[in-house]
Amino acid sequence: MTDGWESWPEDGPGVVRLPSGRLVRGRGLRDPLPPGPAPELGLYLQARRAPEVPWEARLLRWPDFRLPADREEARSALAEVWRAAAGRRVEVACGGGRGRTGTALACLAVLDGVDPAEAVAWVRRRYHPRAVETLWQRRYVRRFSAPGPEA
């Protein structure tokens, strides 16, 4: 962290505190940008392109109601976001902010030490009760693991 670094407000819309204390914001891209500080890094879970934003952004190709197009890339991108959340404001977002975003937040919780079998319930309590929408997304979280040391 640098001097003057401002984290997310812990009670801000969509902000989730991981067990390590890292704060990550989840949101729906169809909703207005929440008030407060802007993200420093965004991971956007979309089928075709990331939104145009004035901060660093990364696209993870992930069709609505489905799973990431490339699971190795997804593990790598989520690990990158998890590491960045230790000292930067990061957000994860998809169109509606529930299915793909909830799935990604549950995977970040796994990276942070939450048991994969408990991660969906964990994110539903802390983010949104309908997070992780499909059976396939729930299975993906249960089977999610961190990338290898080279990632």
Query: Given CA atoms 59, 60, 61, 64 in this order, what sign does their dihedral have?
Result: negative
pTM of the model: 0.93
Please check the confidence at residue 4 and state whether its pLDDT lies above 60.
no
A 10 A CB-CB count for 129 gives: 9
Q: Alpha-carbon distance 77 to 109, whole Å?
A: 14
Domain of 25: which CATH number? 3.90.190.10
Quick one: pLDDT band at residue 148, thresholds 50, 70, 90? low
Quick one: pLDDT band at residue 129, thresholds 50, 70, 90? very high
Residue 6 lies in a domain: no
Q: Which one, of 92, 86, 24, lies nearest residue 58 by Cα? A: 92
Quote the pLDDT of residue 18. Answer: 98
Domain range spanning residue 45? 15-143
Residue 49 lies in a domain: yes
Q: Alpha-carbon distance 77 to 34, whole Å?
A: 23
A 10 A CB-CB count for 26 gives: 25
Q: What is the mean pLDDT of the chain?
A: 92
User: How many domains in the chain?
Assistant: 1
Quote the pLDDT of residue 49. Answer: 86
**106, 119 Cβ separation under 8 angstroms:** yes
pLDDT (average), residues 44-72: 93
Quick one: pLDDT band at residue 150, thresholds 50, 70, 90? very low
